[in-house]
Amino acid sequence: MQTEIANNLFCGDHSWQLVINKNSKHETKIKELYTQHIQDSRPSINEPTADFGPLADDYKMSKLLMPKSDFTHDGLILPKSCEKYVTCWKISLNIALKLKKMIGRDSLVIDATANIGGITTALAKHFRYVAAYEINPDYFRVLEHNVNCYNFKNVTLINEDFTTISQFVTKPKAIIIDPPWYNHDASFNQDMNLSEVPLTELLTNLFTLCPDLLILVKLPDNYPVANYASIVFYKKMKFVIYDLPNWQKFNLDKEFQDFLRLSVQESL
Ligand SMILES: C[S@@+](CC[C@H](N)C(=O)[O-])C[C@H]1O[C@@H](n2cnc3c(N)ncnc32)[C@H](O)[C@@H]1O
């Protein structure tokens, strides 16, 4: 029965995503099976034909990508074209840690815009279940490669448009959205669109689907925001925590700022 459900979920149709019946006693097993399926279908990290384009240098790699458990970056891929996207790994890890304190380790957390896995892999280290979306197939291939290289078994990767999610049955506790700040023609992404959907519309949709969600969005530091729960600045970016029901409860400005400041000092 479990295998049957899982197989149905695996049949190419991604409408399975996050529609696993929350109350099903098979939920955990299905997740395990799905994770296993994803692992099995991933290409080997030593895939000889893989061509990921020009790669970033070692310095960028050490700044941006979290070291593996053997403290090296061996085998990890950081394409030069992604240097501008990836969040410094110490910041990503601290954000994951902070989120864990707020919502607990056993939660499902979604990275809506994974790119090659900067934030995804930090989440994977701290949460039991992580689902990561990346729309671009080239970045997705690197994302798969990197997640595999870290040997994370708790990450479900989805090469889909995140804005097409229409329901949550297995509800995530938190979603991280790190939208591209610039469009393909290098103009500023004024509405922080993901696939033509403005950020405000996406937030509204997500809170309609799941009102007790916590959403963390990475934005330029001068970007105007309203109705936020908490906001912290780091260099030229800010992290805005949208948390509708609890936004009074999490008054983390000072705490989160101190926390980021510490992580910045550490990374200098
Ligand atoms: C700024 S990057 C994310 C960087 C990542 N958070 C990190 O720190 O490593 C934004 C990513 O969002 C992806 N993206 C854009 N629109 C998307 C959509 N509708 N669904 C999923 N991913 C999308 C882009 O392809 C890009 O890789």
- Tokens 């997740």 -> residue: 31
Q: What is the pLDDT of residue 207?
A: 86
Domains in the chain with CATH codes: 3-267 (3.40.50.150)
Atom of ligand 1 nearest to the CA of 117: 9
Atom of ligand 1 nearest to the CA of 133: 21
Q: What is the pLDDT of residue 246?
A: 55
Q: What is the pLDDT of residue 260?
A: 53
Are 146 and 121 within 8 A, CB to CB?
yes
Q: What is the pLDDT of residue 8?
A: 29
β pairing state of 108-111 and 174-177: parallel
- Ligand 1 midpoint to CA 217 (Å): 12
Average pLDDT, 10 consecutive residues per value, the chain (268 residues): 30 33 42 47 49 90 95 95 94 88 91 98 96 96 97 96 87 95 93 93 88 90 74 78 60 54 50
The token pair at 145 is 């490669």
Atom of ligand 1 nearest to the CA of 85: 1
Q: What is the pLDDT of residue 261?
A: 54
- Ligand 1 midpoint to CA 26 (Å): 31
Q: Which residues line ligand 1 (CB under 6 A)?
A: 85-87, 112-113, 115, 118-119, 133-136, 139, 161-163, 178, 180, 194-195
Q: What is the pLDDT of residue 158?
A: 95
Q: What is the pLDDT of residue 262?
A: 56
pTM of structure:
0.79
Number of H helices, E strands in the chain: 8, 7
What's the per-residue H, E or C state across 202-238?
Answer: HHHHHHHHCCCCEEEEEEECCCCCCCCCEEEEECCEE
Q: What is the pLDDT of residue 2?
A: 33
Reading phi first (left if > 0) and then psi (alpha if -120 to 50, else beta), residue 104 is in: left
